[in-house]
């Protein structure tokens, strides 16, 4: 919807109303509007409460119809096409190889929580051959092709995809603690992707923004399910424990290069991938603002995840491990 008010053109999209000349405060307003639309307590509650059904009857969330023919570079606002494409390329390289990610997660979960292991990584036969693909993988594997298509439309070139090798499963003496650390990495990655796609939506409009919305909804969905399931499986988890585990993960690389890797290293690599160094100060600040905006409703929702509520959803913590 576009209309002219005084000398400025005003448009309304998923991030609210905006003038063609965007100031940084308008970007912040757009981030808040997107946050209020996509990351609210009722949405988070709904996404988690759907998980028991998805464990039993996995069904891919359908995407809305995407008007690929309507995607144009002039739908970028407040960011130049080159910077946006460099960031897109970073997201493509971070999303891939999804098969590697889902299979390592499946191995961490397999013994302790087989139903969740199937949700993320599907099922393998006796010879370790994948015979069914997990729902997480089926939903996530749409992301790289969609991002690559956006890149091609915007830049006129095919992206040069250089995926990372997914960090393989590392067995440990304490599989529960091992899964906890791995799970935190996964939740952090889904949270990072959520913030990044929301941020990219603040800088885009029209059909381009609508594509990013589908990715955003997927990431919020997965982040919420992993977070909530983690709070159920680890009822002794608290923000203090999460903080301790994360800060240990931050420095682990310095001590032990063969472990699951350092979170700081992961984040730094992600920022390098995203071409952070070519972002303007405003663009950097608005991403930090997005991180802050998104974590607030998550913390409020997290406060409602009492053991009674979670046990009603998933059973007593030692029951689901044997669920079919």
Chain positions contacting Fe ion, by CB under 5 A: 95, 140, 143, 190, 193, 219
Query: What is the widest separation between alpha-carbon atoms in the chain?
Result: 70
Nearer to Fe ion, 137 or 140 (CB): 140
Least distance (Å) from Fe ion to the CB of residue 109? 16
Nearer to Fe ion, 118 or 143 (CB): 143
**Dist CA 295 CA 12 (whole Å):** 26
Nearer to Fe ion, 141 or 253 (CB): 141
**Dist CA 262 CA 264 (whole Å):** 5
Least distance (Å) from Fe ion to the CB of residue 21? 32
Nearer to Fe ion, 13 or 140 (CB): 140
Least distance (Å) from Fe ion to the CB of residue 287? 17
Nearer to Fe ion, 26 or 224 (CB): 224
Least distance (Å) from Fe ion to the CB of residue 95? 5
Residue 196 has which token pair?
């990044």
List the beta bridge partners of residue 11.
Answer: 2, 18
Nearer to Fe ion, 77 or 270 (CB): 270
Burial of 296 by CB count in 10 Å (0-12 exposed, 13-18 middle, 19+ buried)? Answer: exposed
- Residue with CB nearest Fe ion? 143
Burial of 139 by CB count in 10 Å (0-12 exposed, 13-18 middle, 19+ buried)? Answer: buried
Q: Give the SS3 label for residue 2.
A: strand
Least distance (Å) from Fe ion to the CB of residue 125? 26
Burial of 163 by CB count in 10 Å (0-12 exposed, 13-18 middle, 19+ buried)? Answer: middle
User: What DSSP assignment string belongs to 65-104?
Assistant: P--GGG--GGGB-SS-HHHHHHHHHHHHHHH--HHHHHHH
Around 13, how many Cα atoms within 13 Å sit in the side-chain half-sphere?
26
Omega before residue 234 within 30° of 0, cis: no
Least distance (Å) from Fe ion to the CB of residue 227? 13
Least distance (Å) from Fe ion to the CB of residue 53? 20
Nearer to Fe ion, 31 or 120 (CB): 120
């Amino acid at each position: 919807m576009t209309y002219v008010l005084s000398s400025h053109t005003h448009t309304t999209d998923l991030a609210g109303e905006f003038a063609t000349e965007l100031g940084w405060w308008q970007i912040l307003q757009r981030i808040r509007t997107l946050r209020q639309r996509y990351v609210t307590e009722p949405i988070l509650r709904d996404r988690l409460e759907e998980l028991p059904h998805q464990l039993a009857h996995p069904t891919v969330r359908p995407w809305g119809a995407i008007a690929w023919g309507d995607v144009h570079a002039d739908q970028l606002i407040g960011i130049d096409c080159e910077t946006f494409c460099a960031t897109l390329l970073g997201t493509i390289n971070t999303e891939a190889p999804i098969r590697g990610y889902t299979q390592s997660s499946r191995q961490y979960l397999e013994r302790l929580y087989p139903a969740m292991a199937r949700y993320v990584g599907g099922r393998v036969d006796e010879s370790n051959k994948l015979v069914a693909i997990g729902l997480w993988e089926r939903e996530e594997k749409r992301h790289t092709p969609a991002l690559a298509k956006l890149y091609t439309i915007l830049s006129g070139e095919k992206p040069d995809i250089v995926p990372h090798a997914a960090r393989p499963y590392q067995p440990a003496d304490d599989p529960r603690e091992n899964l906890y650390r791995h799970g935190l990495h996964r939740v952090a990655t889904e949270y990072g992707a959520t913030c990044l796609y929301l941020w990219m939506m603040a800088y885009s409009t029209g059909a381009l923004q609508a594509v990013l919305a589908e990715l955003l909804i997927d990431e919020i969905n997965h982040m919420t399910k992993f977070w909530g399931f983690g709070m159920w499986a680890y009822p002794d988890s608290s923000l203090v424990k999460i903080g301790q585990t994360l800060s240990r993960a931050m420095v682990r690389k310095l001590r032990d290069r063969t472990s699951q890797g350092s979170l700081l290293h992961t984040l730094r690599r992600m920022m390098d991938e995203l071409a952070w160094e070519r972002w303007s100060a405003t663009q950097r600040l608005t991403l930090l603002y997005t991180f802050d905006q998104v974590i607030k409703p998550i913390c409020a929702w997290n406060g409602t995840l009492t053991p009674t509520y979670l046990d009603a959803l998933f059973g007593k913590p030692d029951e689901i491990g044997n669920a079919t």
